[in-house]
Each structure stands twice: as C-alpha cells, then as structure tokens.
C-alpha cells in the first residue's frame, strides 16, 4: 500500500514539473499563426502550392505575404496589423 | 575514501564508459562531430546530476524509512525520464542548434544505462551526500571528457585511409577498445 502511494505522489509531482517546464519553455510556432491569417484557398498563385507552404516560407521572410493575391481588404489589414505588431515588417 | 580519490577514480580509473561499459550507445552514436559530443556530454552530466541527487534523497529519506527499497528501480527510471523530458524542452527552446545536432539521442538519454547506472552505483557504494555529489560530477565529467576525446579522434580518422570493411563503426569500436586498455592502466 505504502509503495503505491509513494509511486503515485512522485509521479504526480514529476508530471507537474514537466507541465510547468513545457509551459515556461514553449516554442511559439510562427508558421501556424501565419497559416491562420492566410485565406486558406490553397490556390497556389503565390508559388508555394498551399497556404501552409507560404506560411512556412514566411517564417524566413515575412514580406512574402504580398505574393498572396486573394489576401485583400480586411484580411490583408489584419495580416499587416499582426506583422507590424510583432515587428516583422 | 577521501573526496579527491573518489573524484579521480570516477573520472579516470573507474570511468563509466571504459571500465563499466555503460552508455555505449550515445558514445558511438553522437561522437561523429565534436560539437554534438560535447553537447551530449554536458546534457548527460546535467541530467545525471539533478536526477542523481533527487534519487539519493528519495532513497534515503523516503524508501529506507518506509522499508520500500524494492521500489528504487521504477522510481529512478521515473525520475530520469521526467528530467530528460524537461531538459529536452529547455534545450529545444534555448539552443535549437544543439537540439538539431543531437536529434534522436537527446530523448534517448532517458533510456541511457549510464544515467541509471550512476544512480544505482551511488546506492551500492553506500556513499554519503557529499561523496554522492563528487561521484556524480566526476562520472559526468569523465563521460564528457571521454566522448569529446573520442570525437576528435574520429574526426581525424575520417581523413585517413581505412580498409573498406573497417570503415565507420567497426574502426570506431576498435579505437574504443584501445582507449579502454589505456584507461585500465591508470588503476594499476
């Protein structure tokens, strides 16, 4: 009985530790954020095949958002506001 | 035994790789490049330092008083796995280059027998707390020094003509054997 309690308590403490570290050292993935702001038509006009491809390329060069033709109006303003907010353009 | 003799013994004469044959997998796997070898050695030292101290305290202050020493294997494995996971998350965030360089071998520290072996040896040798810290640091340092030394030899070896049947791991294992023979002479 005492063995079960020791294992359970130790496992609980260690899992809380991992949870804390995972939260503290989270790797923010810019590509996913860009993908959300892109139209999601996968039209291929930008030359990357899919919106996900353009989003991955934008991690290295944010200016590439201009290649997206369907990105217009409010969506475009939203993307530019996001990029400006993160000091990317 | 004095602290200095424990330290020297754990670095040289009782080197964890060459005399106890623990941790051979990362020793062969990550020693192709100097940088990766150094990163591996430092992260193993760090993991074994933290998990060794936690394992020591848990063993003597929880398991011995409650007479549940039989739990030590599963508990130590649990501690090491949690520490490796935490350190992998930290390295992925802070040092992406090292994370890329070490690849699969970083999570594999969890299954590294050197780490588990050191935590067990501390209990088996019946060290006190300060001797434990010195032994753990010495073993980690011995591992780092040896894997770095080995990586420098292997980098030089890449530029030498080697018989086709010996290229790669076979010649590396032969060198490890020669190094083990040299290190075993320190103890005499």
Element (H, E) at A82: helix A73-85
Q: Give the structural domain span for A79.
A: 2-85
Nearest to A18 among B66, B70, B86 (CB): B86
Chain B hits for A3, CB-CB cut-off 8 Å, are: 68, 70-71
The DSSP 8-state label assigned to residue B33 in this structure reads: S
Chain A hits for B107, CB-CB cut-off 8 Å, are: none
Looking at the complex, does the CB of residue B85 fall below 8 Å from at least one CB of chain A?
A: yes
pLDDT at B60 over 80: yes
Chain A hits for B93, CB-CB cut-off 8 Å, are: 25-27
pLDDT, tens digit, 9 for 90 and up, residues B146-177: 999 999 998 888 888 888 888 888 888 899 89
pLDDT at B136 over 90: yes
> CB–CB of A22 and B89 under 8 A?
yes
pLDDT at B1 over 70: no
Number of domains in chain A: 1
Do B169 and B30 form a contact (C-beta atoms < 8 A)?
Answer: no
The residue of chain A with its CA nearest to that of B62 is A6
Torsion of CA B162, B166, B172, B174, to 10 degrees: -110
**Closest by CA position to B44, among listed B123, B147, B134:** B147
Tell me what pLDDT residue B88 has: 85
Q: How far is B37 from chain A (nearest CA, A)?
A: 24
The residue of chain A with its CA nearest to that of B94 is A25
Per-residue pLDDT band at B141 (split at 50, 70, 90): very high
Overall average pLDDT of the B70-76 stretch: 89
Tell me what pLDDT residue A13 has: 93
Q: Please enumerate in sequence order all residues whose Cβ is within 8 A of that of B37, keeping only pairs 6 or more positions apart, or say none.
A: B30, B31, B147, B148, B150, B151
Q: How far is B132 from chain A (nearest CA, A)?
A: 21
pLDDT at B137 over 80: yes
Task: Provide the CA B188 distance to its chain's centre, in angstroms.
Answer: 24
> CB–CB of B82 and A15 under 8 A?
yes
User: What span, in angstroms and rounded, lies between the C-alpha atoms of B67 and B36?
Assistant: 42
User: What is the interface pTM, i.e. ipTM, of the complex?
Assistant: 0.71
> CB–CB of A26 and B82 under 8 A?
no
User: What span, in angstroms and rounded, lies between the C-alpha atoms of B131 and B55?
Assistant: 14
> CB–CB of B66 and A26 under 8 A?
no
pLDDT at A64 over 80: yes
Chain A hits for B75, CB-CB cut-off 8 Å, are: 6-7, 10
Overall average pLDDT of the B130-152 stretch: 92
Whole-Å CA distances, A38 to A58, A81, B14? 11, 13, 60
Three-class DSSP category at A7: helix
Given CA atoms A64, A69, A75, A81 in this order, what sign does their dihedral have?
positive
Chain B hits for A26, CB-CB cut-off 8 Å, are: 93
Tell me what pLDDT residue B11 has: 85
Do B56 and B39 form a contact (C-beta atoms < 8 A)?
Answer: no
Do A30 and A38 form a contact (C-beta atoms < 8 A)?
Answer: no
pLDDT at B140 over 70: yes
pLDDT, tens digit, 9 for 90 and up, residues B99-131: 777 777 778 887 788 889 999 999 998 888 999
Other CB atoms within a 10 A radius of the CB of residue B70 amount to 9
pLDDT, tens digit, 9 for 90 and up, residues A10-63: 999 999 999 998 888 877 777 888 888 888 888 888 888 888 888 888 888 888
User: What span, in angstroms and rounded, lies between the C-alpha atoms of B80 and B78?
Assistant: 6
> CB–CB of B90 and A25 under 8 A?
yes
Whole-Å CA distances, B11 to B14, B136, B140, B142, B143? 7, 10, 8, 4, 8
- Token pair of B1, please? 């035994």
List B residues 97-136 in contact with A (Cβ-Cβ < 8 A): none
């Amino acid at each position: 009985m005492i063995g079960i309690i020791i294992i359970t308590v130790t496992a609980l403490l260690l899992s809380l530790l991992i949870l804390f570290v995972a939260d503290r050292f989270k790797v923010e993935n810019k590509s996913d954020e860009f993908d959300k702001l892109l139209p999601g038509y996968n039209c291929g006009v930008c030359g990357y095949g899919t919106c996900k491809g353009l989003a991955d390329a934008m991690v290295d060069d944010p200016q590439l958002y201009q290649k997206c033709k369907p990105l217009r109006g409010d969506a475009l303003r939203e993307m530019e506001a996001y990029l400006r907010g993160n000091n990317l353009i | 035994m004095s602290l200095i003799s424990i330290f020297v013994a754990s670095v040289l004469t009782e080197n964890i790789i060459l005399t106890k044959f623990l941790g051979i997998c990362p020793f062969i796997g990550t020693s192709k490049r100097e940088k990766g070898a150094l990163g591996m050695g430092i992260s193993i030292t760090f993991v074994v330092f933290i998990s060794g101290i936690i394992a020591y305290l848990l063993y003597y202050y929880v398991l011995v008083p409650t007479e549940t020493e039989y739990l030590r294997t599963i508990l130590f494995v649990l501690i090491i796995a949690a520490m490796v996971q935490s350190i992998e998350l930290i390295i992925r965030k802070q040092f992406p280059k090292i994370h890329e360089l070490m690849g699969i071998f970083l999570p594999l520290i969890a299954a590294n027998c050197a780490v588990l072996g050191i935590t067990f040896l501390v209990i088996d040798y019946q060290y006190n707390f300060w001797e434990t810290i010195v032994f753990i640091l010495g073993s980690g340092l011995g591992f780092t020094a040896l894997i770095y030394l080995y990586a420098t030899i292997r980098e030089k070896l890449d530029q030498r003509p080697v018989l086709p049947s010996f290229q790669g791991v076979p010649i590396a294992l032969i060198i490890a054997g020669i190094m083990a023979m040299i290190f075993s002479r320190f103890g005499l």
